[in-house]
């Protein structure tokens, strides 16, 4: 059963703490992405990775960090430098980002709440 998993589904964090969101895929996709979604809003790209050991900043990378040590894993760390971290975080993957026909497959999301 192939797909993308994100954990946990709900996450609570105290202000000033770093927290890491997990994203795993078994689709053998090269490219992976992290998006942030605020209530009633669209998706904004945080970071993306086109290949293992490589990643690029998206539109709103400040206060976030990522790593891509394995093809199947792309964890996102929300640091204390992120001023407004409460949001719904979505991870996605695609076969390759070096293609125009780049359908992205999404995980179920993690809802982060800062207390």
Partner 1 sequence: GESVGLHLPTLSVQEGDNSIINCAYSNSASDYFIWYKQESGKGPQFIIDIRSNMDKRQGQRVTVLLNKTVKHLSLQIAATQPGDSAVYFCAENIGDSNYQLIWGAGTKLIIKP
- # binding residues, partner 1 (CB under 8 A): 25
State the CB neighbour count (10 A cutoff) for residue 106.
Answer: 15
Q: State in angstroms the smallest separation of the CB of 79 from partner 1.
A: 23
- Give the interface segment with partner 1, choosing from 14-22, 40-48, 64-72, 74-82 (CB under 8 A): 40-48
Tell me if 98 contacts partner 1 by CB under 8 A: yes
Q: With beta carbons less than 8 A apart as the criterion, state whether 47 and 62 touch.
A: no
Tell me if 90 contacts partner 1 by CB under 8 A: yes
Q: State in angstroms the smallest separation of the CB of 92 from partner 1.
A: 8
Separation of alpha carbons 63 and 60, rounded Å: 8
Site string for partner 1, 8-37 (x = CB under 8 A): ------------------------------
If the CB atoms of residues 58 and 63 are measured against partner 1, the closer one turns out to be 58
Q: What is the CA radius of gyration of the chain?
A: 13
Q: What's phi and psi for 37, nearest 5 deg?
A: -130, 120
Q: Are strands 43-51 and 31-37 parallel, antiparallel or unpaired?
A: antiparallel
């Amino acid at each position: 059963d192939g797909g993308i998993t994100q954990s946990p589904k709900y996450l609570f964090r105290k202000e000033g703490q770093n927290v890491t969101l997990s994203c795993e895929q078994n689709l053998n996709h090269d490219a992976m992405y992290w998006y942030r979604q605020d209530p009633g809003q669209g998706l904004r790209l945080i970071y993306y990775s086109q290949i293992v050991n490589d990643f690029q900043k998206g539109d709103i990378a400040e206060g976030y960090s990522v790593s891509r040590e394995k093809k199947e894993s792309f964890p996102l760390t929300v640091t204390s430098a992120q001023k407004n971290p409460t949001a719904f975080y979505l991870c996605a993957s695609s076969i390759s980002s070096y293609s125009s026909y780049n359908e992205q497959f999404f995980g179920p999301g993690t809802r982060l709440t800062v207390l």
